[in-house]
């Protein structure tokens, strides 16, 4: 016969078992709900990120449509240039076989044509060693036009359809040229000059176009270092790097120039 005390103990035991089972069910339910909730939150976060990316790409496309489009076209090499002395505003060409002092700077130069083929005005910033001429100036060599020395970095405003002819120089000290000359020819590489441009909008673009030069303007001889003929050997436009100015957001892409 089951006593009241035993019955109470049995009920307490069964209550503990039922409570344990109920607790396990709640834990399993909470775990399943958490997994579904977490998955839903992940999906919502992914959707939000995709929406932001879509908005960013649409903004870039809108900016590209109205942005200036600066085209830089190499027109040919322009030989070697002595670093312009302070007592003359003229560019001085380094002639083949002409002696060069150890304390001089020598530049290699090339002709480039720039044009704004976009729909809005381009604000172009040039390095200081760039001489600017009208497109119809007829400049084809260092002796074909009067060369005035640029005194500082220069800025141009090019409206749609406007262009200029540029004489771009890349100068180095003689110690640098000697170091480069000492390397194997296959490892000397190229040298670059950057031309930057931007627009006038709050949300807009900033472009940097890299100009590439190859060749060494000097070589050793019995009398010392002298000018080398036919330098630079290559002049080219390498690529344009575009950055987007978007309110509180900055994004960068690059494209071949």
Copy the structure tokens of residue 227: 């000018």
| Least confident span in 101-115, 203-217, 230-244 | 230-244
Centre a 10 Å sphere on the Cβ of residue 129 and count the other Cβ atoms it contains.
21
pLDDT band for position 203 (cuts 50, 70, 90): confident
pLDDT computed for residue 127 by the predictor: 83
38-69 pLDDT, tens digit per residue, is: 565 665 566 566 666 767 777 788 888 888 99
pTM of structure: 0.72
Q: Which of 32-36, 93-97, 100-104 has the lowest mean pLDDT?
A: 32-36
pLDDT of 109 > 60? The answer is yes
DSSP secondary structure letters along the chain: ---HHHHHHHHHHHHHHHHHHHHHHHHHHHHHHHHHHHHHHHHHHHHHHHHHHHHHHHHHHHHHHHS--EEEEEEEEEEEEEPPPTT--B-EEPPTT-EE-TT-EEEEEEEEEEEE-SSS-EEEEE-TTEEEE-TTS---STTSS--BPP-S-EEEEE-TT-EEEEEEEEEEEHHHHHHHHHS-GGG---EEEEEEEE-SSSSEEEEEEEEEEE--SEEEETTEEEEPSS--SEEEEEEEEEEEEETTEEEEEEEE-
Residue predicted with more confidence, 249 or 81: 81
Work out the average pLDDT over 221-225: 90
Mean pLDDT over 170-179 rounds to 91
Structural domain spans, the chain: 1-66, 69-256
- Look at residue 143 and tell me whether its pLDDT is greater than 60: no
Q: Choose the most confident range, by mean pLDDT, from 8-17, 56-65, 110-119, 125-134.
A: 110-119
Residue 75 scores a pLDDT above 70:
yes
Higher pLDDT, 10 or 29: 29
Stretch 35-39: mean pLDDT, rounded? Answer: 60
* Cα–Cα nearest to 206, from 215, 197, 214: 197
Q: What is the pLDDT of residues 183-202, one digit of tens each?
A: 998 888 889 989 999 998 88
- Average pLDDT over every residue of 26-35: 57
- Whether residue 246 has pLDDT greater than 90: no
């Amino acid at each position: 016969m089951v006593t009241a005390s035993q019955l109470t103990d049995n009920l307490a035991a069964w209550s503990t078992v039922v409570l344990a089972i109920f607790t396990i069910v709640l834990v399993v339910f909470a775990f399943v709900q958490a997994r579904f909730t977490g998955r839903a939150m992940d999906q919502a976060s992914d959707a939000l990120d995709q929406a932001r990316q879509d908005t960013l790409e649409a903004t870039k496309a809108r900016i590209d449509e109205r942005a200036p489009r600066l085209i830089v076209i190499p027109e040919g090499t322009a030989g070697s240039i002595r670093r312009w002395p302070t007592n003359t505003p003229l560019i001085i060409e380094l002639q083949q076989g002409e002696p060069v002092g150890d304390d001089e700077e020598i530049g290699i130069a090339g002709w480039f044509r720039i044009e704004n083929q976009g729909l809005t005005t381009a604000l172009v910033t040039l390095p200081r060693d760039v001489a600017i001429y009208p497109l119809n100036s007829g400049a084809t060599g260092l002796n074909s036009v009067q060369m005035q020395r640029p005194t500082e970095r220069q800025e141009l405003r090019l409206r749609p359809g406007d262009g200029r002819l540029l004489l771009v120089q890349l100068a180095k000290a003689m110690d640098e040229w000697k170091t480069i000359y000492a390397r194997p020819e296959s490892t000397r590489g190229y040298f670059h000059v950057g031309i930057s441009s931007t627009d006038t909008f709050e949300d807009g673009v900033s472009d940097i176009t890299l100009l590439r030069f190859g060749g060494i303007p000097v070589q050793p001889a019995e009398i010392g270092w002298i000018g080398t003929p036919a330098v630079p050997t290559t002049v080219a436009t390498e690529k344009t790097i575009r950055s987007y100015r978007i309110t509180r957001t900055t994004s960068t892409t690059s494209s071949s120039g």
